Structure 1
Amino acid sequence: MSKPDRIFRQIFQFGSTDLTHWFPSHMAKGMKKMMATLKKVDLVVEVHDARIPIAGRNTILKELMGVRPSLLVLNKMDLADLDKTKMIIDNLREERENKQMMFCECLTQHSRSAKKVMPKIVEIIESSERYNRDEEVEYSILCTGIPNVGKSSLINAMRRLHLKKGRGTSTAPTPGVTRSVLHKIKVNERPTIWLYDTPGVLTPQIQHPDIGMKLAVCGTIPDHRVGIDIICDYLLYILNKQEIHKYVEYFELDSPTDDIMQVLFHIADKQKKTILLKTYDGSVVRRPDMFRAADMMLRAFRKGELGRVTLDDA
């Protein structure tokens, strides 16, 4: 057997990066409000990023799912390696008494998968015990998940599909836009269904730096909390480890590499992204803008342009 041309890193050195304690106060408040809202709802819809089906789980939300009937929606399926994610989900099914799960992609105007969510919600509610809500004619659901997994996009897709109305909640490419449990949002007419939107909530303590980095790559933790160059380095490590080298063609590199600075310098040079810096003698020189290059690399990954990737191991 011939040896591979290149040997890439098998372990990522985290250094001083600490992502295990990022839990803003609005998340703690949101969690308390969610607990109080549970008695008002018939179903909990937990939205996940299909690229991180394990790292993206909040263990506290997992406990919530056992209190009421639940539906796990794995969003952004168009960005994930579905074969790998499905293997992981098969393992998750064994942990859940309620095995209601489905894949979804809510960012396009005519998402076929988004159309299947509401019928599944109605099916689960009407086949479940409604506890103290038997006399309520209208249904209520609680939508939960960690930050930036597409909860707001799902809500807006449901309103667009079933009410022919616009946005019911704000969306943004950065985590933390929804900061409180909002007033009820109507998402369906027949039957009438109201939805409680919630802030994205991480587990209070991330168990391992590797989990934190996967969350950061997917935009669940703000880039500035980690450092965009470090996130890109971890992304490069994952892509090489999984032998996904589409980045080579996309950024017009000569070959795969383990050197993130080489990649970012190349991107900056190709895209003519530069900054002016003052030297010690007072002169001004033009240098590659590594920050903008890193931003371009991360945006390309998050749009799916570097390949369909599931960061968790099956």
Structure 2
Amino acid sequence: MRLAAGALRSFRERFDCAGRSVAAWFPGHMAKGLKNMKAKLRGIDCLVEVHDARLPLSGRNPHFQEALGIRPHLLVLNKMDLADLTQKQRILERLEKEGLRRILFTDCLRDENVKKVIPLVTELICTSQRYQRTENVEYCVMVIGVPNMGKSSLINSMRRLHLRKGKASRVGGEPGITRAVLTKIQVSERPLVFLLDTPGVLSPQIGSVETGLKLALCGAIRDHLVGEEMIADYLLYTLNRQQQFSYVERYGLPEPCDDVESVLKHIALQLGKTQRIKVLTGTGDVTVTAPSYSVAAYEFIRTFRKGALGKVMLD
């Protein structure tokens, strides 16, 4: 939902991160995960990096290139159904300037463009100067990326399309489902292709809190580590900046609003999510009914992740 130009209000030009730090947002198991991935590299022919199409230009882990960059590399920008791809050509040109030559947009839940993965991987492997086909009769591909971008969903989609088989990797709406480098999973018979699913690994040196918030919005960081209300505030800021006002109609607001407390209060009351709290006054404690802002924030974020608030680009 976009409003006519005359109906637009003045919104924030920048998001105030209020001196916050991302230091506490990164679980310690991630460093171990990257070390284990590097140890498996000897038997890997190609890397497939999966990232969120709503976040195509930031949030990727630069340590992948440092530790694993000696193999052919395909970047899969997943969840394309949730992204505003009107700037797709600009995105591709920007990524190509960064040295990425093979980029594919996919929707793994609907198997869209997933059939293109194996031909691209086969081409990358066979044209690589580093690849030696002396004895191997199979391809082994490592699937990498930050958490909750769809690595396991890609593997399961490929198995559905090429082998007519069910899930081999667990998937979920929260980061951290895959906690270890797994054994090889077959995804194709001809050519014979195996994939290694890996744990999502965030960079411990994200350049800014705002990049961290973008990752949190996409589900790469657990909500409680960042704070649901802060994530909801950044989502509101993003929607208003992009003139995406579908939240106004969805939650019955009178008009677009840039104050997250007002929006969350309205959502909480609409959902009937309130709580009884005690307030200390000069004459004693008084119990009042207050909206549950945390529940409303979770609802707001969850609706965005389902794509019900319109297609958004976070870069």
**Residue type at the aligned position of 1:257:** C
- The correspondence for 1:299, drawn from 280, 286, 302, is 302
Residues 1:212 and 2:215 aligned together: no
TM-score with structure 2 length normalisation? Answer: 0.92
Q: Corresponding residue for 2:58?
A: 55
1:27–1:202: 8 Å Cα contact kept in structure 2? yes
- The correspondence for 2:101, drawn from 67, 81, 99, is 99
- 2: CA distance between counterparts of 1:5 and 1:222? 33
TM-score with structure 1 length normalisation? Answer: 0.92
Q: Corresponding residue for 2:92?
A: 89
**Residue type at the aligned position of 2:75:** L
- 2: CA distance between counterparts of 1:259 and 1:86? 34
Residues 1:24 and 2:27 aligned together: yes
- 1:242-301 deviations in whole A, cap 9, x for unaligned? 222121112111111110011111111111112232444566443212111111100111
**Residue type at the aligned position of 2:50:** V
Q: Corresponding residue for 2:240?
A: 240
2:30–2:199: 8 Å Cα contact kept in structure 1? yes
Q: Structure 1 residues 311, 204: closer, same or farther in 2, change over 3 A? A: same
Alignment of 1:69-88 (within 5 A): 69-88=72-91
2:24–2:225: 8 Å Cα contact kept in structure 1? no
Q: Corresponding residue for 1:173?
A: 173
1:42–1:133: 8 Å Cα contact kept in structure 2? no
- Distance apart, 1:53 and its partner CA: 1.2
1:42–1:68: 8 Å Cα contact kept in structure 2? yes
1:69–1:125: 8 Å Cα contact kept in structure 2? yes
- 2: CA distance between counterparts of 1:127 and 1:205? 34
User: Equivalent residue of 2:199, what SS?
Assistant: coil
**Residue type at the aligned position of 2:20:** T
Q: Which segment drifts farther, 17-26 or 292-301?
A: 17-26
1:21–1:206: 8 Å Cα contact kept in structure 2? no
**Residue type at the aligned position of 1:15:** A
Residues 1:8 and 2:11 aligned together: yes
Q: Corresponding residue for 1:163?
A: 163
Q: Structure 1 residues 63, 51: closer, same or farther in 2, change over 3 A? A: same
- Distance apart, 1:62 and its partner CA: 2.9
Give the unaligned 5+ runs of structure 2: none
- Distance apart, 1:122 and its partner CA: 2.5
- 2: CA distance between counterparts of 1:224 and 1:68? 36
Matched residues, number: 308
- The correspondence for 1:42, drawn from 39, 42, 45, is 45
2:25–2:226: 8 Å Cα contact kept in structure 1? no
- 1:87-145 deviations in whole A, cap 9, x for unaligned? 1221111221x51111000123xx23222222322232233345355320111000000
User: Equivalent residue of 2:121, what SS?
Assistant: helix
Alignment of 1:239-258 (within 5 A): 239-258=239-258
- 1:11-56 deviations in whole A, cap 9, x for unaligned? 1111142115633221111111111212211110000101111222
Cα RMSD between the aligned structures? 1.9
- 1:175-220 deviations in whole A, cap 9, x for unaligned? 1111111111111111211111111011121111111111111111
- 2: CA distance between counterparts of 1:206 and 1:51? 18
- 1: CA distance between counterparts of 2:7 and 2:313? 23
Q: Which segment drifts farther, 197-206 or 280-289?
A: 280-289
User: Equivalent residue of 1:276, what SS?
Assistant: strand
- 1: CA distance between counterparts of 2:101 and 2:69? 11
- 2: CA distance between counterparts of 1:220 and 1:311? 14
Residues 1:147 and 2:150 aligned together: no
Q: Corresponding residue for 1:138?
A: 138
**Residue type at the aligned position of 2:219:** G
- 1: CA distance between counterparts of 2:185 and 2:57? 29
- Distance apart, 1:86 and its partner CA: 3.7
Give the unaligned 5+ runs of structure 1: none
